A and B are shown apart, each in its own frame.
Chain A
Amino acid sequence: MIGGCVVSSGRSNSDETMTTGAQAPKPRALVIRRHHPLVRISHWLTIPLLLGLILSGISIYWASPIYQHDPNPTTGSFDYFADAGIWICAHIPWLHQYADPANWVYNHASLGSYMLAFALRFHWFCAYLFMLNGLVYLAGLGIGGGWRSLLPRLSDARGVLQVARYYLTVPHATLARRQQIHPSFRTKYNPLQRLAYFAVAVAGFLTVATGWAIHKPAQLSWLTAIFGGFDQARLWHFWLMVFFMVFVIPHVALVVADGWDTLQSMITGWSTKFKRSDVSDHEP
């Protein structure tokens, strides 16, 4: 697990051997500090907080869906999520007897239907912690200096396309048993990662801003106006949620594909994954 980069300290071993006799040099692990503790804490807290916000958020959405159509003459439904629930219960044999098909989606993808008061309280609870967690994250980035690795640069554009092309073509190449080489970069994150992680941080900020715009459209009317008014701010808030959901899929898939070192570096902070050439270049 930690053997990836075990090397001898490499400094004047021969001299030591001369003076201390036959003592072998102690093996040393060479690691890099990858994530500041505050970044790691806030990273993991984001999972339960986002989960709570999304589940309670869909319960709140249930009370007044933003995407509506004219009532269906047979079902009376005007909500696409209710339509989906009715369809699912009609087509899946063991769900034919489901008591409340129109709320099937809400009862399975949210805290539940008919619990607006509770969902609102739960949403505020998670939202205040989410904002606090965002500040912890920013503090960790600032103290640990990790923010420099996250800032996208204009010169990243080519690299973003290179990495995106690699991921788009790698499934086919693997099936065709053709070896595909991951473009290599000398930075902590590749340009696509940098863009993605930066976008998530921006989306977090926008989610908080649109949340306040919906929550206080009178007191913070200037903020609501920035997002194009109350109804538009609700749309923004909804689609930012979808963005987080979409981000999680490749994020988790690629961490799993990358292996244990990458995953544990977000828990323990250190990693043995780095190129020796990156090190030697910077030695005086």
Chain B
Amino acid sequence: MSLKQNEAELRSPVRSALRKKFAGAFSERPIEPIEVEPSILRRWTRRDLLLFGAGALATFAVGGSQLPREVWQRLGLAQSGATGPENKWLLNKALRLDDDVSAALYSKHHLVPTYSKSQITPLKNNYNGATPDPAYIPAWRLTLEGLSSGLAVSLDIRALLAHQIRDQITRLVCVEGWSAIAWWSGLRFADLLHAYPPVSHAKWALIESSVNLDANGNPDPYFVSIDLLTAQHPQTLLATHLNGKPLTVEHGAPARLLVPMKLGLKNIKAITRITYTKDEPPDYWAKRGYSHYDGI
């Protein structure tokens, strides 16, 4: 017998055994009944049913404690008319955790998807309150504070347009769930940071608009916090143009923030002041129960 034949004979049973073993790994194991004294089985059952009941009660207690008063009122289980701030500790923790996850996911090398002009969708005026009177536009200035020079800088629109203007067609995603693809142009926030460097320990930018109004037309200044890492993202713009034309008052003339790495509510319109800070500044919607970071 040649060596080759010998090997073939040896191999095939090994292979079929392997195959059987492999198939066996996925097949169900035979059931193995165990013998238990009925008294022990009763004890097990009682213990597990009690644990189940206790777990169910605890779950509903914890879950229920995190529901807002309004839900209990609608169910008729709480007095209506009671108001006041509600502190939902677990929910706040979850929101903070989610913001931390979001910040950990951030990379300035990861670009958001860009689209072609044929994919552009209508963009509604989503001013939270009333649209401001365009009378503010001619006298508009952008004030920068918290600079390394220690001075405040006041810029007009020509000073902004003197930088390189970039085009980008990106998606604006609203916290409500709708989104719109639009063609924006403007200077990179990173270029502004380069031209007017913030103080060395600054980690945040507080971006404000003094022209915002509430639904009744009364002044309601809008402000967002932006971490400087996101501000330096190459797709974070101070947008001056929409669809190739200067911004209209509905979309935040003459300059707004375009930060496609964040939810739409951070894309503040008609910016009037940027302040660089060491500590996290306040944020309009975070004060109203939304996330601080709003990364998407």
Contacts and interface: CB of A to CB of B under 8 A. Distances in A.
Nearest to B261: A218
A248 B213 CA distance: 48
B27 interface: yes
B186 interface: no
A201 interface: no
B31 interface: yes
A128 B90 CA distance: 12
A200 B162 CA distance: 57
A118 B32 CA distance: 49
Contact of B29 (A112, A145, A279): A145
Nearest to B263: A218
A205 interface: no
Given A217-B173, A218-B260, A234-B177, A117 B290 contact: yes
A122 B34 contact: no
Given A28-B37, A117-B290, A268-B44, A124 B31 contact: no
Given A116-B175, A217-B173, A29 B28 contact: no
B41 interface: yes
B33 A45 contact: no
Interface stretch (B12-20, B97-105, B193-201, B243-251): B97-105
A86 interface: no
A234 B35 CA distance: 51
Given A32-B32, A64-B176, A217-B173, A125 B37 contact: no
B137 interface: no
B295 interface: yes
B70 A115 contact: yes
A45 B177 contact: no
Interface string A41-71: 1001100100010000000110110100000
B35 A216 contact: no
A264 B41 contact: no
Contacts of A215: 296
B164 to A, nearest CB: 23
B34 A219 contact: no
Interface string B51-72: 0100110011001001110110
Contacts of A221: 110, 112-113
B296 A270 contact: no
Contacts of B31: 32, 188, 274, 278-279, 282
B122 interface: no
Contacts of A242: none
A2 interface: yes
A116 B45 contact: no
Contacts, number: 163
A149 interface: yes
B26 interface: yes
A125 B32 contact: no
Nearest to B259: A218
Contacts of A188: 28, 31
Contacts of A214: 177
B138 interface: no
Nearest to A68: B178
Contacts of A27: 37-38
A66 B177 contact: yes
B41 A2 contact: yes
B37 A29 contact: yes
Interface string A74-108: 00000000000000000000000000000000010
Interface string B67-93: 110110010000000000000101110
A178 interface: no
A217 B110 CA distance: 12
B30 A278 contact: yes
A125 B59 CA distance: 13
A237 to B, nearest CB: 10
Contacts of A13: none
Contacts of B296: 215-219
26 contacts: A1-B45, A28-B38, A29-B38, A31-B41, A44-B56, A45-B59, A48-B60, A63-B175, A64-B174, A64-B176, A64-B178, A118-B91, A122-B66, A124-B98, A125-B94, A187-B28, A215-B296, A217-B173, A219-B106, A219-B107, A219-B261, A219-B295, A225-B113, A231-B179, A274-B33, A282-B31
Q: Which 9 A-B pairs rank lowest in CB-CB distance, beginning with the nearest?
A: A117-B289, A282-B30, A64-B177, A125-B94, A63-B176, A64-B176, A268-B48, A121-B91, A218-B112
Interface of B: 26-38, 41-42, 44-45, 48-49, 52, 55-56, 59-60, 63, 66-68, 70-71, 74, 88, 90-92, 94-95, 97-98, 102, 105-107, 110, 112-113, 171, 173-179, 260-261, 285, 288-291, 295-296
